[in-house]
Structures are given as structure tokens and as C-alpha cells.
Amino acid sequence: MSATLLNGKKLAEKKREEMKKEVSALREKGIVPGLAVILVGENAASKVYVRSKQKACEEIGIHSTLTEMPDTISEQELLQEIDRLNNDASIDGILVQLPLPDHISEQAVIERISPAKDVDGFHPINIGKMMTGEDTFLPCTPFGVVEMLKEANIEFEGKHVVVIGRSNIVGKPVGQLLLNENATVTYCHSRTRNLPEITKQGDILIVAVGKANFVGEEHVKPGAVVVDVGINRVDGKLCGDVDFNQVEPVASYLTPVPGGVGPMTITMLLHNTIQSAKQRG
Ligand code: GUN
């Protein structure tokens, strides 16, 4: 058996075409969706991500602004910029690119963003709403994963989902979203014992550990759906957290890197920004 590849790039393109129409309808009503991005410091990967987010906005007609701040700014200065954007009626979404320099509290920054403009879905109020299953901004990468699986008609009800990774951005919320879809969810992490024994029970295995080629065939139940959230660079080449060559013959479905989950993250950010613009007022 060899896995069917889940094409995130194609789904992202389809969704963005639909969003383009939605944005142009909003513009006709005088509403131009606006996303404000704040970038602190010189992190090369962050610069690339921020540029991609702005380009994606431009392509579908979302207005975007960029505030670049040196890594010497104080937490107070960053919080003041967030306050300014919270009060700017032309801005529907605020995104502070993470990570931040060590002297700035990421949690304080996340909590300063108005929950109504938190298109990353990181504010504790929005995380709480996600947990209780209320309508809210969902974190973009987990949201993109669920959308990809739904597009492939993969069922969640009663399925055993095993998540490797427990970050606030991906691991924890992706498990929560699939729990909301009636899956049975197990979390594994760096302190988990007998990892392959547990991951091999997963009907759906979601890998978000940030280590190149970490998951091999010994971790995967034959016929499992495997979602690779990793983006790593090895010898200048992009690769995921899953060893593609080992896992592709074993899995039923697999997300490739690049072209899998990655393009969906920005797509769901655009989605959240449009939803926020619709709720203006
Ligand atoms: N850094 C890595 N991923 C993300 C993300 O989804 N949002 C923000 N703001 N920063 C990130």
C-alpha cells in the first residue's frame, strides 16, 4: 500500500479563490478587511513568514500593515503599539509574530490583543471558547489541519487521534479541535515513555515536534492517517517531522512537506481576518 497525499497547496488555492470573492463583496459594502502584523527583531524565519502572510493578504484584497520594531524595544512599547491597533477601526486582525525576544513576555503580549482582533486564536478568552466549543477564532495551523482532513472526507468520530507535541500553537489545540469532533485523543510529548507503542495505536497520527524525520515506520499503525506539521531545513532542503520515505508505504493518507499543512496555516489566517471584518461594528 502507498499513501494518498493530502494536497494542502491545492486546497489553500481553492479556499483563497473563494475568499477573494468574499473580500470583494465586503469591499463593495465599504468594508476593507485589515490585518496588522507586528514583527520584532531580525529572526530570519519570522521575516519570511511575515512576508508570506502580507503577500497572501494582498493577493485576495485584504489590506495589511507591518510594524517592524527592533529587538531592543521594551515590552511597554510593544504593548502601546498593540493598544494603538486595538483602537484602529480599519484593523480587524492583529498578529504579533512569535517568537519574541526573551525580555518580552509573550503571554502579556497575547493577552493585550483585543480578543475581537485575535486572528491567531491565541488569547486565553478565545482558547477558552475553543475548549467549550463556542464559535471563535481558531488557531490557524490546527484549524488548517482539520479543514484538510475534512476535505479528504476523513472521519473523526470514535477514532483514536494521537498527537505528538504539546505546544500552545499546534499540539494542544489540534487535539482539542478533534476532541470537539468526537475523536478519542491521546497526547504524547518529550517525556512520554514507550512512544512507538502509543503512536502505533493512532488511527490518525498528528506530528508537531519540530524535529526533522522524527517519526519512522515503527511509530505508525498500517493504514493510519499521518499529518506532518513540521517544517525543518536539512542541508538547505525543507522536510517535515515525519520520515516520508519510511512512512509513505505504511500510511493510508499523508501530508507532504512542503505542500501539505504549511499553505493551510496562512489560508486560515485570511479566513479569520475576513470573519473579523464581517463582525465589525
Ligand atoms: N510563529 C510560528 N507560528 C506562528 C503563528 O501561527 N502565529 C504567530 N503570531 N507567530 C507564529
Residue 241: predicted pLDDT: 98
172 is catalytic: no
Task: Verify whether residue 120 is a known catalytic residue.
Answer: yes
Q: For this structure, is 54 an active site residue?
A: no
Asked if residue 281 has pLDDT above 90, the reply is no
What pLDDT is attached to residue 96?
Answer: 98
Confidence tier at 1 by pLDDT (50, 70, 90): confident
Answer yes or no: is the C-beta of 109 below 6 A from any ligand 1 atom: no
What mean pLDDT is predicted for residues 179-192? 98
Give the pLDDT confidence of 190-241 residue by residue, as tens digits: 999 999 999 999 999 999 999 999 999 999 999 999 999 999 999 999 999 9
Peptide bond into 99 cis (omega under 30): yes
CA distances from 129 to 177, 192, 231, 278 (A): 11, 28, 28, 19
What are the structural domains, with CATH classification, of the chain? 31-114 (3.40.50.10860), 139-262 (3.40.50.720)
Q: How far apart are CA 54 and CA 70, in angstroms?
A: 19
Mutate to test the pocket of ligand 1, among 39, 48, 49, 106 (most ligand atoms within 8 A of CB): 49
Closest protein CA for atom 8 of ligand 1:
97
**Residue in 120, 203, 228, 243 annotated catalytic:** 120
